[in-house]
Amino acid sequence: MQRNEKSIMRALAGETLPVPPVWMMRQAGRYLPEYRATRTQAGSFLDLCYTPELAAEVTLQPIRRYGFDAAILFADILLLPQALGADLWFVDGEGPRLSTITSGAELDRLKPIEDIHETLAPVYETVRILSRALPQETTLIGFAGAPWTVATYMIAGRGTKEQGPARRMMYADPEGFDRLMDLLTEATAEYLIAQIEAGAEAVKLFDSWAGALPGGLFEKYATEPARRIIDRIHSVAPGVPVIGFPRQAGEKVIPFVKATGVAACAIDTNVDPRWAAENLQPLTCVQGNLDPMLLVTGGDALVRSVRETVEAFADGPHIFNLGHGITPEADPANVDVMLKALRG
């Protein structure tokens, strides 16, 4: 099968398909008993990320169970700061912790960009295993965090409400902040290029906290880094589609898409599908945006919402997905209900 016969690749190339291709953010995760078993076998979450056979195994689990049209590499956006020299650990039930960056001067302690591949080599090996193991019709998606979102974790050393510490550094030490953003922009491009060279067919840039950027700085810290990353990727790997996800950016997704040339824009649950169909879909393929809570509750509301989403986007390129990651509380049986409502 040619690469361009894969449904996800066709949608990313701008084709409108009779049934939208589908995958889910966090599709390999704690809602699946088989994920929990492999996670226990691996020990810690980071051990799982850095053990290629096990990371490939959990990536494949949702493909075997549901036959999704895309597999997303199992890893985490915080592996890149770790590869740059930050300490990283996960506290069960709480989330990630990192050593903090509080000034530009501290950036000198990080490693040079070309050294990231040493730490990230197991991730590239996972990609190689997957590109051999996946069914021919399944697209392999690589990913990274966008510089702003990764910077929020590096600066605060953890997830934060409203990303206060990062916004504080942005104003209090603009030079240091810009140096960190430049470093992350370049390192992210090299990381994604290495994933593509290992076999990723498309890549996604997660800007989960884009909505916390002040409106006037969105272009500088969300759009511009994404544009630079995509230009750099395309200078080495022309035509490899990049999916952007400037979460909670509201109507700023429009100038974002125009300036970056993303092959698809993922939209979060807040976005009204009818607005996106009218204003965003004429510019690019839209990915999204079922409320993940419906996979906890199921029932008629789930079926109705799947149909409404599909109908809203029926006249243009669409990849069916959630508006954010599936949660550990989701019922695996509801994913079958979602797929039946979608595919018939």
78 lines the binding site for ligand CP3 (CB under 6 A): yes
Give the one residue of 50, 66, 143, 313 binding ligand CP3; rule: CB under 6 A: 143
Q: At closest approach, how far in Å is the CB of 41 from ligand CP3? A: 12
> Looking only at residues 144 through 203 of this chain, which bind ligand CP3 when binding is defined by CB under 6 A?
145, 159
Nearest distance, CB of residue 105 and ligand CP3, angstroms: 26
CA atoms within 13 A on the CB side of 185: 19
Among 45, 46, 224, 259, binds ligand CP3 (CB under 6 A): 45
For the beta carbon of residue 129, count every other beta carbon within 10 angstroms: 18
Catalytic-role residue among 65, 76, 97, 178: 76
Residue 117 CB burial class (10 angstroms; 0-12, 13-18, ≥19): middle
Beta-bridge mates of residue 266:
287
By three-state DSSP, how is residue 97 classified? strand
Q: How many CB atoms lie within 10 A of CB 274?
A: 12
Q: How far apart are CA 46 and CA 88, in angstroms?
A: 9
Residue showing the smallest CB distance to ligand CP3 in the complex? 208
Residue 41 annotated in ligand binding: no
Query: Quick check: 294 and 305 in contact, CB under 8 A?
Result: yes
How many CB atoms lie under 10 A from the CB of residue 231? Answer: 12
127 is a contact residue toward ligand CP3 (CB under 6 A) = no
Q: Cβ closer to ligand CP3: 25 or 226?
A: 25
Considering beta carbons, is residue 210 or 277 the nearer one to ligand CP3? 210
CB of 16 to ligand CP3, least distance (A): 25
The residues in 268-307 that bind ligand CP3, with binding defined as CB under 6 A, are none
Part in contact with ligand CP3 (CB under 6 A); list of ranges 3-11, 75-83, 189-197, 263-271: 75-83
Is 153 one of the annotated active-site residues of the chain?
yes
Answer yes or no: 268 catalytic: no
Binding of residue 43 to ligand CP3 (CB under 6 A): no
Q: How far is the CB of 323 from ligand CP3 (least distance, A)?
A: 11
Residue 122 touching ligand CP3 (CB under 6 A): no
Contact between 332 and ligand CP3 by CB under 6 A: the answer reads no
Query: Helical H runs in the chain?
Result: 7-12, 33-42, 45-50, 52-66, 79-83, 116-133, 147-156, 164-172, 174-198, 218, 224-236, 253-260, 273-279, 294-297, 299-312, 332-343
Instruction: For residue 100, count CB atoms less than 10 angstroms from its CB and return exposed for 0-12, middle for 13-18, buried for 19 or more.
Output: middle
Active site residues: 26, 30, 39, 76, 153
Tell me which residues touch ligand CP3 (CB under 6 A).
Answer: 25-30, 39, 45, 72, 74, 76-78, 95-96, 143, 145, 159, 206, 208, 325
